[in-house]
């Protein structure tokens, strides 16, 4: 009896396997099933769709490391049309930025301001110990005419950051499929072996870029919270101090 049952189970399994093969079963599963379909496109078109999706988004969060002009920045910024807010670290210093419209505010601790005083004392800039204490954890409004304004405001400008980050260099080719934070992605590569950077593009929903490896090992940036709006509010006047002189060059 057991032999007859075993033979029956084997026959059923064989029939099921044959049915799966005939229907293009598990062995031939379509990798694009349930996706947005961009994985079927040529690599250059995938990159183009990712850039278009990013450009049309109202908001995004950028986090990771960015290397530019020999300096490494660690970013955690939320950006939207009209401003941005978040934290930037470089060379052991950390500061917060907040931009509401054209108004840019900088907040840092006493150690940051003291270190800036040490770097710029010879130029007559920076904060003395007493001034650094007063500036501790207070917002400083950066004058629009200050040399630091343009450099710092770039960190809070969604369009500037995305246009500067998303470009790949060299011939664009398709890479492997994977996941970023649980979202299925396809990677596009710039240059030979990805030497021109790489971009992981979402295969779910809109084809937003989710992870960027910059060319020349110039940092890795994650992009998240696409189109998730947030509120930007200028700090209370009681929490804003007038630096009184030019912002140090340190940031």
Look at residue 213 and tell me whether its pLDDT is greater than 80: yes
The CA distance from 179 to 122, in Å, is: 51
What lies within 8 Å, CB to CB, of 209 at 6+ separation is 50, 51, 53, 54, 166, 199, 200, 201, 202, 223
Look at residue 112 and tell me whether its pLDDT is greater than 90: no
pLDDT at residue 225, as a whole number: 98
Look at residue 121 and tell me whether its pLDDT is greater than 60: no
pLDDT at residue 30, as a whole number: 83
pLDDT at residue 6, as a whole number: 54
Average pLDDT over residues 233-249: 72
pLDDT at residue 28, as a whole number: 62
Q: Tell me the pLDDT tens digit for each residue of 4-60.
A: 555 554 545 455 444 444 444 455 678 888 999 999 999 999 999 999 999 999 999
**DSSP structural state of residue 155:** G
Sign of CA dihedral 239, 243, 247, 250: negative
Q: Tell me the pLDDT tens digit for each residue of 21-37.
A: 444 445 567 888 899 99
pLDDT at residue 43, as a whole number: 97
What's the whole-model pTM score?
0.79
The CA distance from 197 to 175, in Å, is: 12
Which of 80, 67, 62, 230 lies closest to 159, judged by CA?
80
pLDDT at residue 17, as a whole number: 46
Percent of the chain with pLDDT over 70: 74
What lies within 8 Å, CB to CB, of 189 at 6+ separation is 43, 168, 172, 173, 174, 175, 196, 197, 198
Phi, psi of 226 (to 5 degrees): -60, 130
pLDDT at residue 3, as a whole number: 54
Q: Tell me the pLDDT tens digit for each residue of 123-166.
A: 344 444 455 556 666 899 999 888 889 889 999 999 999 999 99
Average pLDDT, the chain: 83
pLDDT at residue 177, as a whole number: 96
Look at residue 201 and tell me whether its pLDDT is greater than 50: yes
Contact at 8 Å (CB) between 53 and 36? no
pLDDT at residue 92, as a whole number: 81
């Amino acid at each position: 009896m057991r032999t007859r049952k075993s033979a029956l189970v084997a026959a059923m399994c064989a029939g099921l396997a044959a049915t799966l093969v005939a229907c293009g079963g598990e062995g031939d599963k379509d990798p694009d099933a349930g996706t947005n379909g961009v994985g079927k496109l040529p690599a250059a078109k995938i990159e183009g769709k990712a850039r278009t999706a990013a450009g049309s988004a109202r908001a995004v969060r950028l986090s990771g490391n960015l290397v530019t002009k020999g300096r490494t920045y660690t970013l955690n910024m939320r950006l939207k049309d009209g401003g941005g807010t978040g934290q930037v670290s470089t060379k052991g210093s950390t500061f917060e930025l907040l931009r509401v419209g054209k108004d840019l505010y900088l907040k840092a601790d006493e150690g940051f301001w003291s270190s800036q005083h040490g770097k710029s004392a010879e130029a007559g800039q920076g904060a003395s110990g007493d001034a650094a204490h007063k500036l501790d954890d207070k917002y400083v409004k950066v004058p629009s005419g200050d040399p630091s304004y343009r450099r710092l405001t770039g960190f809070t400008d969604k369009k500037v950051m995305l246009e500067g980050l998303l470009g790949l260099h060299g011939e664009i080719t398709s890479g492997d499929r994977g996941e970023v934070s649980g979202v299925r992605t396809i990677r596009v590569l710039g240059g030979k072996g990805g030497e021109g950077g790489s971009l992981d593009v979402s295969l779910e929903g809109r084809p937003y870029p989710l992870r960027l490896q910059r060319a020349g090992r110039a940092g890795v940036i994650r992009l998240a919270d696409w189109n998730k709006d947030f509120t930007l509010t200028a700090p209370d006047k009681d929490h804003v101090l007038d630096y009184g002189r030019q912002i140090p060059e340190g940031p």
